[in-house]
Structure formats: C-alpha cells, structure tokens
Chain A
Amino acid sequence: MDQYASALLAFPPQNEPADNETYHKAAMLHIQRISKMIKERPKDLVAFSAELINVIDPAVNSLSYLAILHALIFPSLAAKVPQNFILEKLTTFLMVFDGRQCRYGGFPLLDVLDAVGNGRLLPPSVAVECLATAILKLDPSGTILTSSHILLAKLAYDTDNIEPALPVIEKDIVYYPGMANYHDAQYPCDLELPPPLYISKTSGLTTLLKNTMVLEYDLLCGMMYCARREWWKARKAFERVVTFPTKDTGCSKIMVDAFKKWILVSLLSEGRHCNTPPPYTSESTLKMFGILCRAYISFATAFATDDVEQLKLEVQNNAQLWVEDGNIGLIEEVMASYQKWRVLSLQDIYTKISIAEIRAQTKSAETGAVLNKDEDVEALVQNMIIAGMLNGVIEKNDDGTKFLLFLSPTTHLSEEEMAREIRAHTVRLRGLKDIFTATSQRLGTSKEYIKWVIKDSKRDKTSDGQDLTLTFETQIDDEDLMGGIPNH
C-alpha cells in the first residue's frame, strides 16, 4: 500500500511551479503509471481505497484521486466500501479539484460527470451544484458548451434546482466542440489556452454535440429564466434558438417552440412584440414562423392595444393551442401583466394623472373590465413602482385626490457615474479580446483561408503585364499618371 501511496502522491511535484512543458511531461508520465497500476492490480486499489483516499488531497493530487474514485464507482459502486463514504468523497472531489490538473482527466472525469449529471449517484440539488462547480473549474470562462452543460440544464430544470446552475447558465457560450481547425494544444496545461484547445472529443472532456442538443440547451436556459421570472434573460435565450443558423431552408421544431415562447416573453419584458427577430434570422425560417405561429402573433398584436375584448377573444379562441404547446402558464402571466403595461403606456401621454382616471382608462385582461375600486388601482401602481417597472410616485392633492406623477424616464448620470459605467464596459470589452483572438487565429490558420491567400497572392503576380488585354490599359494609365506629375 505504501508503494501505491507514494506513486499516487508523486504528482504534482512538490517544488516550485514548473513550466508548461515539464508539467505536461510529468502529468503524462503519472497518468501512464496509474493506468498501468490499475490495469495490473485493480482489486488491490479498491481494497486499499479507503485508506488511500484519506491520504490523498483532492485539491492537490486531483488526478490520483480521480483514478481511485473512478475505480470505486465504475463499472458499479464498489460493494466493499460504504456507499456514503464514496459519495461523500465524490462530492468533495467535484467541489475542490484542480482544474489545470484535470485537463488530463479525460474520459474518467467525463464518466464521473456523466454519472453525476444523470442524477443516479447524488440527490439532484447536490448534483446540480457539484456539476456546475466542476464545469467552471475545468473552464473558468464558461465559454464552451459541453455535454455536461446539457446534462446540467436538463437536471436543473427537471428537478427545479435552478439557482445552483445559474453560474454556468449565465455565461455566454461562444465555442462548441468539434469546431473545424481546432486541434488539441501541445500542452493542455497552459493556463492561457482558449477552452476549445483542451476541451474536445479527443481530450475526452466532452462528447460531440448534435444541433438539437444545442437548441435544447438554450431552450432550457430560457425556460429556467422563465421559472425565475427573469423575462429579459429568457428572451435573450429564446432568441438564440430562434436565430440559430440554418442551411437549405431548414427549420427545427425546437426553433418554432422557442419562437412562440420568445413572443410571449417579449410581451412580458417589453410590453410589446417587435415583429422581427434580429436580422440574421434566415428568411425561410421567418416565413415558417409566420405560418406556424399565427395565433401567437395576433395575440401579441392585440396585447399592444387598448382593445381588451379582442385580446380576450384571441386567448379564448386558442385555448386548446396554448395547452398543447405547454404555454398556458406564460399566457396567464402575460394576461396578468396586461393592465400594468397599459398603465405604463399612459406615461407617453400624461405627466400627472389621477388614480380614478387610471382606473377608467385601463382594463384588466383577466376580467375584461375596469377595476372595482380606486384602492385596487393604487395597489397595482404601488406594486409596479416597487418592482421598478414604473418610474413614478403616488401623491395626494390638497383636495384629497390621489394622483400618479410620472417621473422623467431619462435621468441623466453625473460625470463620475458615467465614467464608472464606461469603465465597466471597457473591462467587459477587454474580456472579449481573448475570444476574439482565438477565433481570428482559428480562422486565419484554416486550410481554406491559407489556400485562398496563396491563390490571391499568385494572382497579383500573374496579372503584372501577362494578361494581354490588360497591358494596353495599364500603359495608358502610366502615361496619364506621368502626365499629371510635374518634373522636378
């Protein structure tokens, strides 16, 4: 056992941090040694695992720890060791492992993450948190979508453990596994690397994805935001699905579903639905949306008017459809918010308006009538002010009539506030630079691009005087040029 222990503790080297090359070599050697060990005497490892695992620090000797865990969990949970003990260690490992080291973790790590993501080993709330932490440890920027992301999203949404998944969900995804012209880096341990160079199918840290999985991930993100009532973020997520790149007039049912939700969430976040998604949505897809989501579009159109009867009619006529699409919850939300948006629209017309007038002018979409008492309106307006939806105050006149005072929507910032905002944005833009460089490097070194550059430079050379039809014109040009320059 001591022999095992010394082998397992051999990596990483204790002395001062090594450069990438040394680290890489050491890691490879270590992996070789452990795999050999596991292959030769797998039973011993399990037998001593309890003692070994207590000796090894998951945060320092992550690879070794992973190897033992893997041996304990796969192919099935080891019978000799208490299950709780294994799961406790698993949890600890996922929470604290060293991200740099585990870039060498490969398929054993993916196995562990998959098992956790499938929800078989740990209770969902723990699983979601562990998985989210592990994903961000491997890729702190969170910019590449992996198979673990998809498991995480499904698990979190299905078991309603959204909160712990948020740190992962909220990251902007810009890379996907299997992108052309990304090859695994020479030294995956290099901390400067963009994530697609060490998280890939070949490095074993993710599997390849299908486009339906990517679409589903964004759809699930949107629905999680819906559950948290963060309409604006939900809208952005659905928008990613709606604008998904398509080829040869393709369209996916997930995109259509997302478009429906996108419309409803737009209503909730902005009070109206702008008819067209961003310009890069393909035209054939737009046509398809127009045909398949007609009921939603006319509902959205009715929402932006004062005609409450029409809105109610739209809802009633399509009652069955909402249920079939699973959007009844959103529709109810939208209907509940109708009056608020009507009140808000009054700010384009009034600066001060009495509560009684608001009551007379806005109707509730749920009943289709005005509210019964001024107090109800007052409560509604108060809620809107508290929620930050409405920028205004309720005041009382000398004669006792209460009125709503709309405050100016554009409050201008002081010089310092403005500077702070700008600074914050600058930092964010600087953050984009990494992604930008990685992408431009990828595109700049792609085979097609290099071929094109070579061809282009050749064409430049050949066109000098060889094309007979051009020579005459160039001569004329020369003469003209010379004629224009005075002789010094």
Chain B
Amino acid sequence: MDSGLLPFFTAMENQGNVIVKGLPACPFSTNHSTDLSSLPDAPNFDLELYISNYKGRTRFDRLLHIGQCSVPLCVDALKAAVVEAKKGKDTQRYRDAWEHLRLAGPNEPEAQFDEAWVNNTGRSNRALTHQLEAELKGYKNNLVKESIRIGHRDLGEHLEAIGNLNGSAEAYVKMRPDASTVSHVIEISKHMTGILLQKRDWAGILTNVNKLTPSNMTADEINAEQPHQKMVCGLAYLGSEKYAEAAKCFLETGDPNICQRYNDVASSNDIATYGGLLALASMERDELQARVLDNSSFRTFLELEPHIRKAVSMFVNCRYSACLEILERYRSDYLLDIYLQKHVHKIFSLIRKKCIVQYLVPFSCVTLDSMNAVFAKPDESLEAELISMMKSGALKARINTIDKLLVMASSEPRAVMQAKALKTVMDYEEETLERIRRMSLVAADLEVKGQGRKGLGGAGGIGGLPGLGDILRDDITSESNLSVEGMS
C-alpha cells in the first residue's frame, strides 16, 4: 500500500468502513472473460465505465464510497468525486470529497481547496432559493394549483441539489394537496422515495412504495412504473435485511430498457447482481431454476452479468464449490457497491450454508476430508463452521470425530410419533388436573389478592404493579428463613 494511503485507510477503518484491499474483477463489461479478470494485477475495473452507468446524485455517493473503501481505486475515485461535486451545487459534498482527498492524496491538484467556487456557489444557491421562494409566494397568491405544484417541485429539486434533504422532502410533501392526476401523485412519490433512499430510511420507503403504483393505473402505465417501484422496494428490503422479499422484487423488475431510465437509483447490472445473489441466498434449487434461470424478463438482466447466471446455474446443477468460487472471485466488487456492501458477508455466508446443506442432501454419511476439499479454504477445517450450523439448527447432522465423518441425523418418524402420542397423553392428564385444581382454588377463594381495588381512593393507580410493600405483607417470616440445608 502506498505510504500516504495507510493513515487514510486506518482512519477509514476506525470509522467503521469496510476496506477492500484487492483489485476488483471487472463486473461491468461483458467483453472481459472471467479468466482475465481473475488476474490480480489486471487493473480492469474501469471506474469511468462504471460511473457512466449512473446519473444524478448517486454518482457522487458511489464515487465517494469507492474512495473510502477501495485501496487501489482510492485516489482516482476521490478525484472523480471532487470533479463530480464541483459539477453540482452541493458545497457540503465538495467539502467531504476534498477532506478525504486531502488525507489520501495531498499532492493531487484537486486536493487544493477551491474557496472561490465554494463561495460563489453558496451565494448563487442562496439567491436561487430566495428567488424560488418568492416565485412560490406569487403562485400561492394567484391560487393557480398547477403553478403552486410546480413551484413546490422546483424548490424541492433545488434544495435536493444543494443537499438540503429535509427541506426538499418538506417541499415535495407540499406538492400533494395540489396533485390532480395519477401521474402527479407518482411524481411526488418518486421524489419522496428518492430522498428517502439517500437518507437510507428503509422503513420509510416501504411505507411509501405502494403510492408509486396507485390502483387506478392502466396496464401500460403499470409496465412503465413497475421497474422503478420494484427497484426501490427491493433496495429497501435489502437494507432491512429481508433478503427473500428483496430477491422477489428484483426478479420482478420487468423491462431492462425502462429500468435504464432510472439509473439514478441503480443500474441494470446492479439489478442482475442483487437479484441473482439474493435469490441464491434465499431460494431453493427448483425455485432458482423456475424464477431466475427460466424467468424471461430477468434473463435480459442476467446477460449483463454472465457470472451471476453462471453461479446460479452451477448451484442448480449441484456444483456448489464452483458456484462459491465464482462468487468469491467477485466479492471485492460487491463490497464496492453502496447498497450491497453491508450485506455481502451475510449473504455470502447464507449462500455458503445453503451450499453445504444442499451438498449433504443425497448422503447419509460424508467424510470430513471430502467436505473440506469441497468447501474449506486450503489448510483450514470446516468443523467450526459445521458446528455453528448445527447449533443454530440449520444443519441436521452429527460429527464423528473418531472416524472423521459427518453423519446425517436420521429421522425416525415412528419413534417421533410414539413419543408425541405419549407426550400428548401426559400433557392432557397434567393439564386437566391443573385446571381442575385452579378452579378449586378459585372456588375456595384462595387466590392471592392484590390491593388494586382497595387502593381506589389511595394515591396508587388502579391495576398498576403493586409495590414491594404489597408483596411482603404475607406474614411468612418463618418461610423466608427456610433453606435447602436438608440436602446432603
């Protein structure tokens, strides 16, 4: 690592960021074969190509994110981020990017703080805000609904561009009373989800996402709007760790051409990656075949990311180690994705566990060595992982450390049935006695009574927890001294 970068990444690590040391393979170009990208020194992650897939404010977020995480791409990404920030109007973003670049590459020309730009932009931003507010006031006085709506929208868009997310959300909300058509409502919702996505408010998105497809839409409109809705919804589910739901959303995204329009949210490549990975993590083999590989609309996405398709088909064809190997090769790419990064570890371990369970299905007994050969990294044993899986109940098997075997737990339905029958009888007997006993206690007026009713006039509330004094009023000093000294 470059000596200048070391303190920078130490600082980043302290902030809780993931550090990706290796070079990413090239996931964003279909021309490269996987063999080439697996070479560690081939610098074939094309940052420019990658970022050109996106538009809007997400470009800066992604660049900054890569700058914070990736060692080899750090300086390039941060430089691009500075340039990107200066293209926009958000001075805070420029400051952020510059702060990072100052630490990572102080000698770069972009590391010089452009105070003039910041001042100018700040001034013009303020002027524009005032202007838009004044215009909006005028519209309000004229009472023309459409103008008021447009006024709020312009103000919202401006505030979003200068980074005042809360202010812009407020402006967007104010559009609602003046929205008169379905498309207006959808527009508001799109703006809102856009803001929520930037704020990473997953729960907020999930509550708002239904408004993206109002019930009175025509089929064509639904086709046009569905990709965006599914993308946002999928991201929200991913963010809240509901992988199965997220996978379904991504798989149902629909037309990639329409999807391309919404590349301020995610690119079609991303949809393929998210959909494929999450499906692998949450679906069974036949489901994967039916819903991923045989899914005609998703196939077009998969063509953008052939390795995902390959991994899925490997899994479906029971070539688990090959599947894991492919995914492992692309792990560092996934770690550079702003939405996926936090979940990569979890998703990978889910897929891995599923692979292990699936691998064992046809066997009643497997040698640990062969398991290690398939799943473990060189010179590492799988045993600890297997044990944790057994403890969590994910794997129903037992280890035989003497003969180095993994033995599947055989279910004996007969014994289970017998035990269940006997347990039912015993539970019935016990419960009957207990219920009759309780009825008798109540009939004999022996319940322990609280002071809830008596305390009606007192200071204590009715039905609240009684205080310590209430519990201790039993005159049982003799019992409290009882102990188990009798045991010997």
Contacts and interface: CB of A to CB of B under 8 A. Distances in A.
Contact of B438 (A180, A209, A226, A245): A245
A256 B479 contact: no
Interface string A261-288: 1000000000000000010100010011
A354 B433 CA distance: 46
Interface string A398-433: 000101001010111100001001100100110010
Given A174-B436, A425-B426, A351 B400 contact: yes
B173 to A, nearest CB: 41
Contact of B390 (A249, A349, A421): A349
A250 B414 contact: no
A254 B476 contact: yes
Contact of B401 (A215, A227, A248, A350): A350
A249 B479 contact: no
B464 interface: yes
Nearest to B442: A245
Interface string B399-434: 111110101000010111011011001101100111
B437 to A, nearest CB: 5
B444 to A, nearest CB: 4
A412 B414 contact: yes
Contacts of A223: 482, 484, 486
Contact of A175 (B387, B440, B470): B440
B418 A413 contact: yes
Contacts of A292: 471
Contact of B449 (A173, A248, A397): A248
B474 A252 contact: yes
A174 B419 CA distance: 27
A132 interface: no
Interface stretch (A69-77, A100-108, A322-330): A322-330
17 contacts: A175-B440, A177-B444, A179-B440, A223-B482, A244-B447, A250-B452, A278-B434, A288-B465, A326-B485, A351-B399, A351-B405, A352-B403, A425-B426, A429-B425, A429-B429, A436-B432, A443-B439
A212 B476 contact: yes
Give the top 3 A-B pairs by smallest Cβ distance, nearest first. A326-B483, A250-B450, A412-B415
Contacts, number: 218
Centre residue among A250, A406, A408 by max chain B CB count within 10 A = A250
B445 to A, nearest CB: 7
Interface in B352-386: none
A35 B18 CA distance: 96
Size class of A's contact patch?
35 or more
A214 B446 contact: yes
A421 B422 contact: yes
Contacts of B470: 250-251
Interface residues of B, number: 64
Interface string A40-64: 0000000000000000000000000
A176 to B, nearest CB: 4
Nearest to A223: B484
Given A257-B480, A422-B421, A174 B415 contact: no
Given A354-B401, A432-B432, A249 B465 contact: yes
B480 A249 contact: no
A278 B445 CA distance: 22
Interface in A438-473: 439, 442-443
Given A216-B476, A257-B479, A352-B400, A179 B443 contact: yes
Interface string B444-488: 111111111100000000011110001110111001111111111
Given A176-B444, A223-B486, A351-B399, 7 more contacts: A350-B401, A352-B400, A353-B400, A401-B402, A432-B429, A435-B436, A443-B439
A352 B402 contact: yes
A357 interface: yes
B441 interface: yes
A14 interface: no
A227 B486 contact: yes
Contacts of B428: 429
Interface of A: 157, 160, 162, 172-181, 209-212, 214-216, 219-220, 223-224, 226-227, 229, 240, 243-257, 261, 278, 280, 284, 287-288, 292, 326-330, 333, 347-354, 357, 397, 401, 403, 406, 408, 410-413, 418, 421-422, 425, 428-429, 432, 435-436, 439, 442-443
B484 A329 contact: yes
B450 A248 contact: yes
A435 B476 CA distance: 32
A178 B445 contact: yes
Interface string B18-57: 0000000000000000000000000000000000000000
Contact of A249 (B405, B440, B466): B466
Contacts of A246: 447-450
Contact of B433 (A174, A226, A418): A174
A333 B443 CA distance: 39
B457 to A, nearest CB: 15
A251 B436 contact: no
B346 interface: no
Contacts of A178: 444-446
Contacts of B449: 246-248, 250
B87 interface: no
A160 B482 CA distance: 13
B415 A410 contact: yes
A255 B391 CA distance: 35
Contacts of A181: 443
A249 B447 CA distance: 11
B402 A410 contact: no
B384 to A, nearest CB: 11
Contacts of B472: 253
Contacts of B130: none
A220 B419 CA distance: 32
Given A212-B476, A412-B415, A180 B445 contact: yes
A428 B430 CA distance: 11
Contacts of A249: 450, 452, 463-466
